Amino acid sequence: MMLPSGSAGARILSFGGHQPSNVVTNEDLAEKIDTTDEWIQSRVGIAERRVAGPEESLQDMATAAGGKALAASGLEAGDIDLVVVATCTPETPIPNISATVADRMGIASPGAFDVNAACAGFCYALSVAADAVRAGSARHVLVIGAEKLSQWLDWTDRTTCVIFADGAGAAVVGPSETPAIGPVVWGSAGDKHEAISIASRDTYLTQQGQTVFRWATTQLNAAANDALDRAGVSPQDLAAFVPHQANLRIVESLARKLGATDAVVARDIVTAGNTSAASIPLALSRMLERGEIASGGKVLILGFGAGLTYAAQVIEVP
């Protein structure tokens, strides 16, 4: 048996992000449900979020973000041979999103599969993409995190509808002489599977907020530190820290314990809300657009959410 030779390492060549145009402010929500801007800002850190209308599907958002990442990579559609979409909010369970998105982008017959690790999904998908490139199973991979959470929310449930939002973020992964996507540290806590769930097709997303909050602020710094150790990177080397944008208080707690004094910390949740698998690539694409992270900067990413699942790795940004 022969094996493909692959590549010494893998790197992210480009990012792309997409948000629906419809902005929903806290005041908009307070007109319909028993909540206040003060409560949402102080407890969650969100000022506004984007919500897709019925005319914009999950596939539309994933295709838009994927298209931007592909254009920024300088590659052609035909150069992509694997498409992986991380999502936990497909409109239907069959078919998967990735094959449809690839077809709409003009990517001819790539490998195509979806990943469901909820808000950790992008980090899982990125790890699989990097391994595929290193092993030679793919040369260029389009990784997308996309969510239309709004279709799974009860818009009268103030404990969830003020938090979650819609959007997509994407990255193109390709071969590299030197590794620029570090080893993943991933894990799960399936004993807490009920903490975030959509229990049946007729119900909505529910969340035991405090259970998840406690878990995130007590268990995940170990995974973050482990990812740094395995990449041989110290907190002081980091240009940025981009954790999943679940709650600004969780972001601040993780960042404080990490002690990465020179790192820019992603606070994209303030204007993007919690977009689950899209939050990390969306935050990164917006930070890069604003010039907040220099090319080649080392960034620690940390995804966590339903499952419960988590994953962390160090990347170098394009």
Q: Which residues contact ligand UT7 by CB under 6 A?
A: 35, 39-40, 43-44, 119, 158-159, 162-163, 196, 207, 209-210, 212-213, 216, 246-247, 250, 274, 276, 305
Q: Which residues are catalytically annotated?
A: 119, 244, 274
- Please choose, from the candidates 100, 93, 117, the residue with its C-alpha nearest in 3D space to the C-alpha of residue 200: 93
Between residues 103 and 152, which has the closer beta carbon with respect to ligand UT7? 152
Q: What is d(CA 34, CA 67) in angstroms, rounded to the nearest whole number?
A: 39
Between residues 159 and 234, which has the closer beta carbon with respect to ligand UT7? 159
Q: What is d(CA 132, CA 20) in angstroms, rounded to the nearest whole number?
A: 31
Between residues 61 and 119, which has the closer beta carbon with respect to ligand UT7? 119
Q: Which residue type does 187 have? A: G
Between residues 51 and 233, which has the closer beta carbon with respect to ligand UT7? 51
Whether the CB-CB separation of 257 and 68 falls below 8 Å is answered with no
Q: Which residue type does 247 have? A: N
Between the two ends of the chain, the Cα-to-Cα distance in Å is 36
Tell the smallest beta-carbon distance from residue 133 to ligand UT7 (Å). Answer: 28
State the Cα torsion 315-255-274-200 to the nearest 10°: 90
Helix (H, G, I), strand (E, B) or coil at 242: strand
Whether the CB-CB separation of 70 and 77 falls below 8 Å is answered with yes
Q: What is d(CA 228, CA 263) in angstroms, rounded to the nearest whole number?
A: 13
Between residues 6 and 209, which has the closer beta carbon with respect to ligand UT7? 209
Whether the CB-CB separation of 173 and 80 falls below 8 Å is answered with no
Tell the smallest beta-carbon distance from residue 66 to ligand UT7 (Å). Answer: 22
Tell the smallest beta-carbon distance from residue 30 to ligand UT7 (Å). Answer: 8
Q: Which residue type does 70 have? A: L
Q: What is d(CA 93, CA 193) in angstroms, rounded to the nearest whole number?
A: 20
CA 200 to chain centre: 24
Matching residue, tokens 């389009």: 142
Buried b (16+ CB within 10 A) or exposed e, 246-280: bbbebbebbbebbebeebbbbbbbbebbbbbbbbb
